[in-house]
Amino acid sequence: MARMRKNGNGNGNGRRHATQQSVDQAIKSICDIMRRGNCAGAMQYVPELTWILFLRILDEKEHREEQEAEALGVPFRASLESPYRWRDWGSPPETLPEGHTNKRVELQNAPQNALFNFINMELLPHLKGLKNRPDATPRQKVISEIMSGVERVRIDTERNFLDVLDKVHQLSTEAIDPTHVFTLSQVYEGLLLKMGEKGNDGGQFFTPRQVIKAMVQVIDPTVDETVYDPSCGTGGFLAQSFEHIKAKLGNDATAEQIETLKQRNFWGREKENLIYPIALANLVLHGIDKPNLWHGNTLTGMEIYGGLFEGSPQTFDVILTNPPFGGKESKEAQTNFDYKTSSTQVLFLQHVIRSLRDGGRCGIVLDEGLLFRTNEDAFVKTKRKLLDECDLWCVVSLPAGVFTAAGAGVKTNLLFFTKGRPTRKIWYYDLTDVKVRKKTPLTLKHFEDFFRLLPTRADSDLSWTVDMDERKRIAADEARPLKEQSTAKSQQAAQWSERLKDLKKTKPRDEAAIEEAEAKAKELAREARDLAAKAKEIEDAVYDLKAVNPHKRPVVDTRTPEELMDIIEAKGQEIAEALAVLRTSPLVVTSKVDSQSTQRCMITNRVR
């Protein structure tokens, strides 16, 4: 067996990645092995790599904690024991200290399929069952949930699987130089981006990281606040909030603040079985020891696993979220909400308002349709509730294409609001002129002018303020006469209905008078309804919150018909001259001669 210089922690890594290119190449080589080993796309190889990488980092973390506890003379309880630790079954033999062996060596020397049998029939069931222990720790519950969707090893052969283990072993925190390259959590974020790319079906769970960073910067969560995402996907908002708060604390953070940050700050919900464990692993890799994630349907309340959500607050200080676009919910989901609709985003917005404490702040991604639609009661009433109970102080209109790379072409907006006071004015910022493509994505640089203007919410060519009180007053003034006319028509209709009753009782019956009264009552009732509908349409239009930049000047073609015809004529002359040159060119003449010769040969052959 190959020997290696003895490593201080008994967990040698082989090589140190000193450049970003080196790390990227290591990740690519792992994915290449997985692709050839029955995990063709990112939706297959990212979940597989998730649990393998998580167990590698967990073992390194617990080994370090054990050494620290030993140095301080305090007890330490490991989450995993032999032979279920990475160092037992995953560490390559050549990385072990001299004279040591492990479970992997035993399995490699055993008959074929011994490794897969151990992983599938012993390791995975053991890890999944940790949460059911009476004395299960929060970390053991996290381990079980991360492993919940893993039925067996997806990689096709033991040789390919061992190759993956060898390369993942090199991706330790100690092996990656943080001064020159991304931390391991950012490397993993890059993998999640692969899931979000168009065609990989993972876009619905992935929000572009630059959008997340901008939203977190605006909301500015602190260490004393709870942060919640009711549709957390891969956990991007929670992970970025953690990084944001940690960076603000810097070296001045107390032990209590660090403990709070790692254990009690971050809460979320996710429905999808495939994505939930990936979110947990993502948050653990970022440094959140206890990701308080609930597995189940946020809208129906149907729980799959709630063990990590125990002790959750009823309301939260900060909500950052991107609810699914264009979803349709069942009647069962709608029963939990005041304003019933099949629209997923409308129901999520109601859930967010309900889950935010008074004084709490929210940043949410919503599609354009929710903002401008006023033709369905649930849309209007939900937006009215938002403006009545919360101060919607900012709307950012994002450019088209921001979510295209993630498989969603819908036009979107960022809404920022504070609960506990009604909306008086909304400040808008317009980013729609930014051209977003695959090679030129939206970046934080595009938000620089927005952040410059945000503190004062000043007007500019790209920003403006809508006075909601004034808009409501104008709408009320326009709707009032229509309402008054509707009321008058309703009263007249009621009078004719009473007259109709009297006429039907009178003997002998005057059929002509009855017919006239009936027609009048129906006509007046219809007119009253029409007038009331027009008044309601005017009042509901107040809740069309779509960003329409008043400073944008439409591009108008001022050329006259005569000028356009002159241009067409000139272009036609250019085309005619170009064709004349082509017809007299030697290449065309030669081609004609060759063509004529070919035709003569064909005729001669036919005659023969």
What type of residue is 366?
L
Q: What average pLDDT does this structure show over 275-282?
A: 88
Q: What average pLDDT does this structure show over 454-466?
A: 96
Please, are residues 318 and 219 in contact by the beta-carbon 8 Å criterion? Answer: yes
Tell which residue, 256, 260, 264, 290, has the closest CA to residue 137. 290
Q: E strand or H helix at 358, and its extent?
A: strand 356-367
Residue 174 has a pLDDT of 62
Half-sphere exposure of 220 (CA within 13 A, CB side): 5
Query: CB neighbours of 84 closer than 8 A, spacing ≥ 6?
Result: 123, 126, 127
Among 274-288, 324-338, 367-381, 430-444, the range with the most confident prediction by mean pLDDT is 367-381
pTM (whole model) above 0.75: yes
pLDDT tens, position by position, 544-603: 999 999 998 777 788 888 888 989 999 989 898 888 888 887 755 555 555 555 555 544
Count Cβ atoms below 10 Å from residue 439 Cβ, excluding itself. Answer: 4
Phi (first) and psi of residue 392, to 5 degrees: -80, 95
pLDDT tens, position by position, 156-206: 999 999 999 999 998 876 655 444 334 555 566 566 666 555 444 444 556
Residue 176 DSSP label: B
Which of 205-209, 354-358, 418-422, 458-462 is least confident?
Answer: 205-209
Burial tier of 201 (Cβ tally within 10 Å: 0-12, 13-18, 19+): middle
The C-alpha atoms of residue 15 and residue 166 are separated, in whole angstroms, by: 11
pLDDT tens, position by position, 122-139: 999 999 999 999 999 989
Query: CB neighbours of 565 closer than 8 A, spacing ≥ 6?
Result: none
Please, are residues 279 and 233 in contact by the beta-carbon 8 Å criterion? Answer: yes
The C-alpha atoms of residue 373 and residue 362 are separated, in whole angstroms, by: 22
Please, are residues 344 and 299 in contact by the beta-carbon 8 Å criterion? Answer: yes
Count Cβ atoms below 10 Å from residue 290 Cβ, excluding itself. Answer: 18
Count Cβ atoms below 10 Å from residue 251 Cβ, excluding itself. Answer: 4
pLDDT tens, position by position, 528-548: 999 999 999 999 999 999 999
Q: What average pLDDT does this structure show over 366-389?
A: 94
The C-alpha atoms of residue 497 and residue 504 are separated, in whole angstroms, by: 11
Q: What average pLDDT does this structure show over 15-37?
A: 74
Please, are residues 26 and 142 in contact by the beta-carbon 8 Å criterion? Answer: no
Tell which residue, 303, 291, 305, 202, has the closest CA to residue 238. 291
Residue 456 has a pLDDT of 96
pLDDT grade for 3, boundaries at 50, 70 and 90: very low
Tell which residue, 380, 408, 407, has the closest CA to residue 538. 380
**% of the chain with per-residue pLDDT over 90:** 60
The C-alpha atoms of residue 53 and residue 169 are separated, in whole angstroms, by: 8
What is the Rg, in whole angstroms, of the alpha carbon atoms belonging to the chain?
A: 34
Please, are residues 398 and 414 in contact by the beta-carbon 8 Å criterion? Answer: yes
Burial tier of 579 (Cβ tally within 10 Å: 0-12, 13-18, 19+): exposed
Q: What are the Cα distances from residue 588, in Å, to 572, 591, 595, 602? A: 22, 5, 10, 21
Helices within 506-585 (DSSP H only): 511-540, 561-583
Please, are residues 316 and 267 in contact by the beta-carbon 8 Å criterion? Answer: yes
Query: CB neighbours of 439 closer than 8 A, spacing ≥ 6?
Result: none
